[in-house]
A and B are shown apart, each in its own frame.
Chain A
Amino acid sequence: MTTPANTTQRPASQSAPPGGLSRSMIWRWVLDMLPAMLTPFLGILAALVIIVLILEWQGADPQVAWDYLYEGTLEDNIRRADLVAYWMPLAVTSLGLVLTYTAGLWNIGVEGQLIMGAIGATWAVRLFAESDSPPLGLDLGRDGVLVMCFVFAALTAAFWALIAAVLKTRGGVNEIFGGVALNFIAQTFNMYLVSNGGPWQPTGSRATETARFPENARLPTFQDYRRLSPTTIYVTVGVFVVVVLIMYVSKWGLQLRAMGKNQHSAFLLGVRTERNVVLSMALCGAMAGLGGAYRVLAPDVSKLTAAPSGGIGFLAILVVLLASMSAVLIPFVSFVFAVLSKGGQRIESGFQWDYDIVLDRSLVRVLQSTVVLMVVLAFGARNRFFPPRSAQPPVDDDTNGDTNDG
């Protein structure tokens, strides 16, 4: 007998051929499916083990850390509200990335797009809410100002993404390199705006941030949770619906999938690949821009700071990879990452205040990257030892290019 599947056949099933056959077929099917379903869980389990080891090594009790994680994210309503406020920009940015990653575009530039969104929103605030002479003499109310903020954020970020797209389609610059450069430029530009003597820094201030936005540029909040705005939730749900429609209903979504799998074949089958590169990048940029707007307009922030994104763009890349580009999984995966981020901060501060143990500053990042690394490794190991049935003949070198982030 040559296959491992046969060794699991029970003797009883061999004595009764008809029933036995179907039972062995179900068995084989389960054995086939099992690795696929267990992979992410095994990855997370491995990550937990490693995290526990890291904590032990840093002299912190993992049990206590777990309590902090819970306390920092889900214990009471205020924490939960904070968690949601962090979750929304992460989710909306990840949803945008679903489009580009499905199309096979490694939109690393999303971090810069998010920053440009934040700048765009601030720009709208300055134009329509703070200025004495708004453009065209428009005197928008609060709702109008906020709409302009979102529109400006989406447009500036989409423009930023378009640069990367055009560099790729016209200049032949890989979107990864273009993205890295544009991220750097966006960060520098943001810094220029708000740092010493920058045009958007209030005169006399030494803080690297703009002044607090006026009343009529603040998002409405829940009555009980002053740091959470329902608007971000509505907008994100809307974006979610749009992305789900694109990916599962529209013809365009199917084209993006085809491009991601084989761009050349897709082109020959009639897909306008170049146009779709541009479109998907722009849409993704617009969604990342919304994420940037959430960040600056957040009720407890309400200004453009030196680092408006807080790394959410990079985090979103991890989210979309772990969700294996599935739009419906994004809400869950981004939630897990929001918990890890928020909870990680609490673990850090908790140990410092209560136990006087100073954990490494980068602990939060370490937690996230460990999870990513382990899940990606688990997928790699799965593909190596349980190759999917319909795979092509094996290739000489192996797929392990995804583990260099974080």
Chain B
Amino acid sequence: MHVELNHISKTFGRVRANQDITLGFEGGRIYAILGENGAGKSTLMKIMSGYQAADSGEVVVDGAAVDLHAPTDAIEHGIGMLYQDPLDFPPFTVLENFIAGRPGGFFLERHTARQHLNALIERFDFDLDPDAYVDMLTIGERQQFEILRLLSLNVRVLILDEPTTGISAGQKTALFNVLKSLARDEGMTIILVSHKLEDVIELCDEAYVLRRGRYVGHKNVPCPMSELVELMFGRVVARQERPPVSVGEPVLVVGGVSVESRRLTVDHVSLEVHAGEVIGLAGLDGSGQGELVRACTGLLRPTAGSIRINGQEMTGRPYPQFAQSGVAFLPAGRLEEGLIGSMTLTQHFALTLPTNRPWVNWFRAHRVTTERVQHFNVKGYPGSPVQTLSGGNQQRFALALLPDNLRLLLLENPTRGLDVESALYIWEQLLRRREDGTAIVFISPELDEIVAYSDRILVFFGGHTTLVDDPADMTANRLGELIGGRM
């Protein structure tokens, strides 16, 4: 199958998301779409998958222009897409959602559908329970489920918009093997939108690069990573040295805390985090890191143990009290928990700016929004609803919304969906907070990130934790072994 995009253009108000883009995709190959945050990658892919209509231009499948008015049209033409922010599914089980998304009867097929689903899960080596409720799944599991659903609909072109942002290394390897075999053995076209250049180099055959809504170049992969970076940003980007910061008194003391996650109980975690320190939490998706962090913000009650913030006993206190003691939390699901999709940037600041007045000072909110948006380089206007920002820009906005002068900052996947340059920039901002004595605890599925930024690493495996005190000679590979249980 051969798919072409011809002279695609798309504007949103003042934003030109895609400008006259022409690309071609062959069967049996794996493509990467690269570009900085807000370059127009998701927009282009949504046009190709029928979710959005282009202002002008056409999608050509095997030589014939097709009309795509809805994702179902695209699926009929064999094009399916995994969206960047997982869809809201109704509160059904995995199996029920799987059946509901398919043409045909709802009741008769249950048994065959289950077999079909189980076969797919097995083949992909995914860890997915057909009877789990979809709204209880982690982001990674939801993505896995979406992929399975699309494959069961017989798509020939599979578009994945940042599929690896929420999944573990093991899940990723399994996914990549499957994607390779789908391309090599079954002649499918795979299109991967990603900011992780290592992934692109490992997986893809070709890369198309977009910059500010325009198509700026093509590379055959593998190629040196720096060439891709230069094409994406128009210049070379380098990681900065991290300035040393002196470590202060303990901010967070976790004493023998046990938390229950969906699958396992994590027992007796003890950890002392000092002002100015950065602690990375490493572990496979769902190993209890998320639960520990939530326990440290008062969103989840630990089953045992105590949590002290600034020397004060806080176990079992509600979230607002943690917030008052200078603890902030940035969850992974931006639009599900953290931001309110249909509210504008200014409204978010109006909501969160501390004030004693009962009314909203819109001038101040607007001013602060403009400042912060500029400072964090968010591509969006104060009046844009958050859901119209590109994925990476939503992430930057979520970070911009965090208050100053915090004691403890807990982050779940802080650079999810950020391009290389912005990820570096965001970490620069975060590390600068240490100078004010902020302690940072972060979870990341990217082991490189953990190794690069942590002063100490807490490794989660099988309900136990191990503290790596000196990560100086720790490598991502070694860390990968630890979180997989190999000592």
Which residues from chain A sit less than 8 Å from chain B, CB to CB? 1-6, 249-252, 254-255, 257-258, 261-262, 264-272, 389-390, 392-397
Contact = CB atoms under 8 A, between A and B. Distances in A.
A104 to B, nearest CB: 12
A106 to B, nearest CB: 17
B352 A272 contact: no
Contact of A393 (B67, B83, B338): B83
B36 to A, nearest CB: 22
Given A251-B358, A262-B341, A266-B340, 15 more contacts: A1-B58, A2-B58, A251-B357, A254-B360, A264-B337, A267-B319, A268-B329, A390-B342, A390-B388, A392-B87, A392-B88, A392-B341, A392-B387, A393-B87, A397-B90
A396 B90 contact: yes
A3 B50 CA distance: 11
Given A251-B350, A254-B351, A394 B68 contact: no
A268 B337 CA distance: 7
B88 A395 contact: yes
Given A2-B57, A265-B338, A249 B359 contact: yes
Q: Which of A4, A261, A262 has the most CB of B within 10 A?
A: A262
Contacts of A390: 342, 385, 387-388
Nearest to A25: B11
B51 A251 contact: no
A4 to B, nearest CB: 8
A271 B347 CA distance: 13
Per DSSP, chain B at the interface is: loop
B340 A3 contact: no
Nearest to A9: B56
Contact of A394 (B51, B59, B385): B51
A2 B341 CA distance: 28
Nearest to B320: A272
A262 B348 CA distance: 12
A63 B88 CA distance: 49
Given A3-B53, A254-B350, A270-B351, A261 B343 contact: yes
Contact of B352 (A261, A270, A397): A270
24 contacts: A1-B56, A2-B53, A2-B67, A3-B53, A3-B55, A5-B55, A250-B358, A250-B360, A252-B358, A254-B350, A254-B351, A257-B347, A262-B336, A264-B337, A265-B335, A265-B336, A265-B337, A269-B340, A271-B351, A389-B12, A392-B341, A394-B70, A395-B88, A395-B89
A257 B70 contact: no
A397 B340 CA distance: 21
A266 B338 CA distance: 7
Interface residues of B, number: 51
Given A2-B57, A270-B351, A396 B51 contact: no
B188 to A, nearest CB: 22
A393 B59 CA distance: 20
B87 A395 contact: yes
B97 interface: yes
Contacts of B359: 249-251
Contacts, number: 110
Contacts of B101: 396
Nearest to B330: A268
Contacts of B71: 393-394
Contacts of A249: 359-360
A386 B359 CA distance: 36
A257 B342 CA distance: 10
B100 interface: yes
A255 B360 CA distance: 11
Contacts of A393: 51, 71, 83, 85, 87
Q: Which of A6, A251, A265 has the most CB of B within 10 A?
A: A265
B467 interface: no
B11 to A, nearest CB: 8
Interface in B297-348: 319-320, 323, 329, 331, 335-343, 347-348
A261 B351 contact: no
B355 interface: yes
A266 B337 CA distance: 8
Contact of A269 (B68, B348, B388): B348
Q: Which of B331, B335, B337, B351 has the most CB of A within 10 A?
A: B351
B71 to A, nearest CB: 7
Contacts of A270: 320, 323, 351-352
A265 B339 contact: yes
B373 interface: no
A180 B359 CA distance: 34
B320 A396 contact: no
Contacts of B320: 270, 272
Contacts of B360: 249-251, 254
Interface in B84-138: 85, 87-90, 97, 100-101
A393 to B, nearest CB: 5
A252 B352 CA distance: 12
B192 interface: no
Nearest to A391: B387
Contact of A251 (B339, B340, B355): B355
A394 B72 CA distance: 10
B340 A265 contact: yes
A249 B357 CA distance: 11
Contacts of B68: 2
B9 to A, nearest CB: 11
A237 B113 CA distance: 60
A105 to B, nearest CB: 17
Contacts of A250: 358-360
Contacts of B347: 254, 257-258
A246 B94 CA distance: 42
Contacts of B342: 261, 390
B105 to A, nearest CB: 16
Contacts of A3: 53-56
A118 B338 CA distance: 42
B351 A258 contact: yes
B54 A2 contact: yes
Nearest to A6: B56
B97 A258 contact: no
A389 to B, nearest CB: 8
Q: Which of A266, A271, A396 has the most CB of B within 10 A?
A: A396
A393 B351 CA distance: 26
Name the 6 nearest CB pairs between A and B, nearest first.
Answer: A3-B53, A262-B340, A390-B388, A261-B340, A265-B340, A264-B337
A182 B27 CA distance: 63
Nearest to B339: A265
Nearest to B334: A265
Q: Which of A6, A267, A390 has the most CB of B within 10 A?
A: A390
